Amino acid sequence: MILIAIITLGGIGIISSGLLYLASRKFEVYENPLIAQVQEILPAANCGGCGYPGCAGFADACVNAPSLEDLLCPVGGAAVMSRVAGILGKDTAGADPKIAVVRCNGNCEARPHVNQYDGAGNCAIASSLYGGETGCSYGCLGYGDCAAACTFGAIIINSSTGLPEVIEDKCTSCGACVKACPKNIIELRKKGPKSRRIFVSCVNRDKGGVARKSCSNACIGCNKCEKECKFEAITITDNLAYISSQKCRLCRKCTAVCPTNAIHELNFAPRKETSLEDSPKTDEKTNQKNI
Amino acid sequence: MLKTFRIGGIHPPGNKLSAGKKITSIPVPRQVIIPLGQHIGAPAQAVVKKGDQVKAGTLLGESGGFVSANIHSSVSGKVNKIDNAVDASGYKRPAIYIDAEGDEWEDTIDRSETLVRECSISSQEIIDKIAQAGIVGLGGATFPTQVKLTPPAGLRPEILIINGVECEPYLTSDHSLMIEKGEQVLTGVTILMKAISVDKAVIGIENNKPDAIIHLKDLAKRYTGIEITPLKVQYPQGGEKQLIDAVVRRQVKSGALPISVGAVVHNVGTAYAVYEAVQKNKPLIERVVTVTGKGVANPSNFMVRIGTPVRDLIEAAGGMSENTGKIIGGGPMMGKALTSADIPVTKGSSGILVFSKEESLRKPVHNCIRCAKCVQVCPMGLNPTLLMNATEFANWELAEKNYIVDCIECGSCSFTCPACRPLLDYIRSGKGKVMGIIRARKS
């Protein structure tokens, strides 16, 4: 009895293995072994920040692309990309590391509430209904869609200012917050040397007087920074200044002349008291470096 | 048995505080703010500039595309500026500010009260006149009327349905119009019938307006092809698709237009505006607005110039009480809270509702208890709780598969939910998102 069972089962096993072997030969799909190797190096966050469906998709794109110039894993950054380039024998992307910046400084004092919203606490819903609780219809709504979208916990809403804050060490510049923000306030900017960067922390396109009335920290499009900048890094469109992170040389002259403190500088050493006439304002600026 | 639509529906308390109140005119305001985008579609292009003298009825903005409408001045005076103004959308949008001086009207407008029944011009001429006058759907959707009257090639309208339902609680502007301007409304209906060459029109009126039903039935004997159908009271019967189902028992497929079942639907307010435009050459520069709610002393129906600030209307109705919590533009179900009392009345404003603080409070939100009441009441046969979850978790594929774009935003689901979940808030936002995705896919 036992013998019959062993023979039958063994026979089935041998025949099946033969069939499976033939099938695997017949229907074999060749996958470049490099893809698996590249995927091994990638951070496996599957955040989609690179624009591909997960790390596997990105690895595939890296292997098949003629050069790595347009490809960047925002989580792994330059370090991972150079290792990928090493495996594939291709040139690394020269892309600068980026970081998310919040371009609104309309905190509770600067931007008084003019109405009260009691609908669902979600930025996308509030912005589909109206301009927001303050007079500024461009600024941050503060319901935290960006914080909810961030898989790395790199954005939190500061309860005292009501505005989102980026935690620099955690931000991988995956761009999820940029997509989540219905007001397009968050921008991915060049991280800058020693993480130093200067940007206009406002997106209000109203005329100067109107913008100022709704928020005391708003950019009023006064052109002072544009005139001050020697590198033509600042452009003003629709009453709003924008600093090109490519052209900006971080000289900090624009922050000193801004009448509304709309231009922010991050991670700079405090200025020397004597180097500028209006030193109290400068102090205020550096205090805001975490915002 | 009275007719009504077959799927879903709710019965909110009527609260028609201003029913039976005569339509009164309010004084011309000192300044009007006339937004250039008062309709669905492209905003109008301004044709006046700062400092221009205008009369009531002067063209201010020309239609900015196929789906767009002309904008006219509602007062005589001087253009103060063209600037952004917060309108009922809650955003700043371009508007024309006019300082009123006197009350001079364009010479072409016939301001007499005499009724002109005969209309001898051709259907194309009628449609052109309607387009000239800048008429849009006055039920609230503000879809340009001339577009609705020009059916796509290959489709022929069979019946004209006139919406006299006014299913929104509180609002009585259409009701008062049917009582006081019955003849004009019926003449307007006859003109609309001629414009789309149909020989049958049905006016659907909910049974809570028996006076209007009797009055119009009486008048309709003198007109050929107009029938008055009393309907069972049920919200949202004033929805285009619901009304078609109630009156002619035909269902419009998902994504299709009412014309696909041979129906064209217009509001009684639109019919009145069409009468004024075609027979009296008067562009759409004023409309009936109900000012109501427990927050005002005398709920009333006013004939208001477009562009009048809401503040003036509330003052005319006896002022706002101290305890005001919310001012709503439109009805309580589909209307929208206004951010300020300086927002102007536009073509789509059917009512201004003043709510006390207690009435305007939202109840605390609880977890879904899976009772499926929202599914029961949805007049489009959708699954609101599923659509809300799909939106919350950004599952646009699931939302699209479950017909989120068919939502008519009537708010029956949020009204019914015993857990007070903000179903419509989420669905509306998800619908916008999915429509964007569909548009992107097509282009």
User: What integer pLDDT is reported at residue B344 of this predicted model?
Assistant: 95
Q: How far apart are CA B303 and CA B381, in angstroms?
A: 37
User: What integer pLDDT is reported at residue B37 of this predicted model?
Assistant: 92
With CA atoms as reference, the chain A residue closest to B86 would be A131
CA A102 from centre of chain: 9
**How are beta strands B286-292 and B351-356 bridged, if at all?**
parallel
Q: What tens digit of pLDDT does each residue of B301-317 get?
A: 999 999 999 999 999 99
Cα Rg for chain A, rounded, in angstroms?
A: 27
User: What integer pLDDT is reported at residue A282 of this predicted model?
Assistant: 44
Cross-chain Cβ contact A130/B422 below 8 Å: no
Q: Where are the domains of chain A?
A: 33-88, 98-290
DSSP assignment, residue B151? P
3-class DSSP assignment, residue B431: helix
Domains of chain B: 1-9+109-361 (3.40.50.11540), 373-442 (no CATH)
Q: What tokens does B296 get?
A: 């005002």
User: What integer pLDDT is reported at residue A281 of this predicted model?
Assistant: 46
Query: Would you say the C-alpha torsion B386, B391, B393, B398 has a positive or negative sign?
Result: positive
- Among candidate residues A225, A209, A198, A204, the one with its CA nearest the CA of residue A286: A198
- Domains A33-88 and A98-290 belong to one CATH topology: no
Mean pLDDT of A151-171: 91
User: What integer pLDDT is reported at residue A94 of this predicted model?
Assistant: 57
- For domain A33-88, the CATH class is mainly alpha
Mean pLDDT of B223-240: 94
User: What integer pLDDT is reported at residue A75 of this predicted model?
Assistant: 81
Q: What tens digit of pLDDT does each residue of B121-164 get?
A: 999 999 999 999 999 999 888 999 999 999 888 889 999 999 99
User: What integer pLDDT is reported at residue A273 of this predicted model?
Assistant: 59
Q: What tens digit of pLDDT does each residue of A10-25 get?
A: 999 999 999 999 999 9
With CA atoms as reference, the chain B residue closest to A204 would be B92
User: What integer pLDDT is reported at residue B306 of this predicted model?
Assistant: 95
- Highest average pLDDT, of A19-23, A46-50, B337-341, comes from A19-23
The C-alpha angle B348, B375, B263, rounded to 5 degrees, equals: 45
Cβ atoms A119, B362 nearer than 8 A:
yes
* B436 at interface of A, judged by CB pairs closer than 8 A: no
The answer, yes or no, to whether residue A287 has pLDDT greater than 50, is no
The answer, yes or no, to whether residue A286 has pLDDT greater than 90, is no
User: What integer pLDDT is reported at residue A158 of this predicted model?
Assistant: 92
For residue B12, CA distances in Å to B332, B364, B428 come to 10, 20, 21
Q: What tokens does B441 get?
A: 């896919």
Cross-chain Cβ contact A129/B84 below 8 Å: no
| Minimal C-alpha gap between B360 and chain A (Å) | 10
More confident residue, A269 or A225: A225
The answer, yes or no, to whether residue B321 has pLDDT greater than 90, is no
Please name the member of A120, A130, A210 whose beta carbon is closest to the beta carbon of B425.
A120
Element (H, E) at B351: strand B351-356
Q: What tens digit of pLDDT does each residue of A225-253 get?
A: 999 999 999 999 999 999 998 889 898 89
The answer, yes or no, to whether residue B90 has pLDDT greater than 90, is no
More confident residue, A38 or A16: A16
Cross-chain Cβ contact B362/A206 below 8 Å: no
Tokens 């995705």 correspond to B437
List the CATH code of the domain at A98-290: 3.30.70.20
Element (H, E) at B304: strand B300-305
The answer, yes or no, to whether residue A289 has pLDDT greater than 80, is no
pLDDT-derived band of residue B258, with 50, 70 and 90 as boundaries? very high
Q: How far apart are CA B149 and CA B275, in angstroms?
A: 15
Considering only CB atoms, which chain B residues are within 8 Å of A114? 339-340
Cα Rg for chain B, rounded, in angstroms?
A: 21
* B14 at interface of A, judged by CB pairs closer than 8 A: no
pTM assigned to the model: 0.85
The C-alpha angle B184, B186, B190, rounded to 5 degrees, equals: 115
Tell me if the bond preceding B236 is cis, omega within 30° of 0: yes
Q: What tens digit of pLDDT does each residue of B169-218 get?
A: 999 999 999 999 999 999 999 999 999 999 999 999 999 999 999 999 99
Length reported for chain B:
443
CA atoms within 13 A of residue B348's CA, in its CB half-sphere: 24
pLDDT-derived band of residue A95, with 50, 70 and 90 as boundaries? low
Q: How far apart are CA A287 and CA A283, in angstroms?
A: 6
The answer, yes or no, to whether residue B117 has pLDDT greater than 60, is yes
| Minimal C-alpha gap between B264 and chain A (Å) | 30
The answer, yes or no, to whether residue A290 has pLDDT greater than 60, is no
Q: What is the secondary structure of chain A as a DSSP string?
A: -HHHHHHHHHHHHHHHHHHHHHHHHHT-----HHHHHHHHHS------TTSSSHHHHHHHHHHHSS-STT---TTTHHHHHHHHHHHHT-PPP-PPPEEEEE-----TTTS-B-S---S-S-HHHHHHH-S-SBS-SSS---S-HHHHH-TTS-EEE-TTT-SEEE-TTT-----HHHHH-TT--EEEEE--GGG-EEEE-----S-HHHHHHH-TTS----SHHHHH-SSS-EEEETTEEEE-TTT-----HHHHH-TT--EEEESPPPPPGGGSS-HHHHHHHHHGGG-
CA A261 from centre of chain: 23
